[in-house]
Amino acid sequence: MFDTFVESELGLADTELNRRITLLEKTLQEKQQTVEALEDSERRYRRLFESATNSSTSIANWEQERCLKFTCPDYLGDAVEAGQKRAAEMPPPSRGETVLLVEDEPSLLTMGQMMLEELGYRVLAAGVPGEAIRLAEQNASEIKLLITDVVMPEMNGRDLAERFHSLCPGIKTLFMSGYTADVIANRGVLDEDVYFLQKPFTMTDLAIKVRDALSEK
């Protein structure tokens, strides 16, 4: 009976050992497949980078460092030119001046205020000319620029600007409208030599026009 018990236990142990060996072999096989897949991916990425760069590109220590080090001198000129172009397109910096924005369309008023504040200006915003006049009376010594829509209720932008010149001597004015400057001038609403910004406009457009108006001697 004892011999039978021993044989039974040895049989179970042998079965368990075989199961573990099989599992270990399967695990090693999966790891080997993973390593081969990674190596294959590295080779494919290397070919992609080599084909994407020109003959001046150098790839160093790929096998040791598993990284790419490449230089593309032919593209440096383009990069410098692109950087210079972006610098030229950057909005002119503000000096923290206070501007009064008058726009009867609420969404445009909010957008314009956000743009101006993003550019670094202190903004007083008014939805109608009457409100703008009240703000001017309260902040006459601080306002450096009036930015006003041309067509509004109560009074047009030109009449508002004339009123402002009596309240804030020396104030500069920038008019804006959805109409072109030619149409506005031909209708006699504005003079031809005023600072004018046509809607819709970008932040860069706004920044340039505001800076030009403020810099007027």
pLDDT tens for residues 59-108?
444 444 444 444 444 445 555 565 555 555 566 678 899 999 999 999 99
Helix (H) or strand (E) holding 107: helix 106-118
- Which class for 95: exposed (0-12), middle (13-18), buried (19 or more C-beta within 10 A)? exposed
Q: What is the pLDDT of residue 44?
A: 61
Its pTM stands at 0.58
Judgement on whether residues 48 and 117 belong to the same structural domain of the protein: no
Query: Which pairing describes strands 172-177 and 98-102: parallel, antiparallel, or unpaired?
Result: unpaired
Question: How many domains, the chain?
Answer: 3
Judgement on whether residues 114 and 188 belong to the same structural domain of the protein: yes
Query: Taking the C-alpha atoms of 104, 110, 112 and 118 in order, what is their torsion angle to the nearest 10 degrees?
Result: 160
Residues 6+ apart with CB under 8 A from 163: 129, 133, 155
Structure tokens at 41: 């991916």
Residues 6+ apart with CB under 8 A from 206: 91, 112, 115, 116, 119, 197
Judgement on whether residues 66 and 117 belong to the same structural domain of the protein: no
Q: What is the average per-residue pLDDT within 144-148?
A: 96
User: Measured between alpha carbons, how far is 215 from 78 in angstroms, rounded to an integer?
Assistant: 34
Judgement on whether residues 68 and 4 belong to the same structural domain of the protein: no
Judgement on whether residues 117 and 205 belong to the same structural domain of the protein: yes
Mean pLDDT of the chain: 75
Judgement on whether residues 201 and 133 belong to the same structural domain of the protein: yes
Judgement on whether residues 144 and 76 belong to the same structural domain of the protein: no
User: Measured between alpha carbons, how far is 99 from 144 in angstroms, rounded to an integer?
Assistant: 6
Judgement on whether residues 37 and 60 belong to the same structural domain of the protein: no
Residue 60's domain comprises 55-89
Judgement on whether residues 22 and 77 belong to the same structural domain of the protein: no
- Which class for 209: exposed (0-12), middle (13-18), buried (19 or more C-beta within 10 A)? buried
Q: What is the pLDDT of residues 172-215, one digit of tens each?
A: 999 998 887 776 666 555 666 789 999 999 999 999 999 999 98
Q: What phi and psi, each to the nearest 5 degrees, are found at residue 144?
A: -105, -20
User: Measured between alpha carbons, how far is 7 from 96 in angstroms, rounded to an integer?
Assistant: 95
Judgement on whether residues 118 and 178 belong to the same structural domain of the protein: yes
Query: Could you tell me what percentage of the chain is helix, strand and coil, using 3-state DSSP and rounding each to the nearest 5?
Result: 60, 10, 30
Judgement on whether residues 85 and 172 belong to the same structural domain of the protein: no
Helix (H), strand (E) counts: the chain: 8, 5
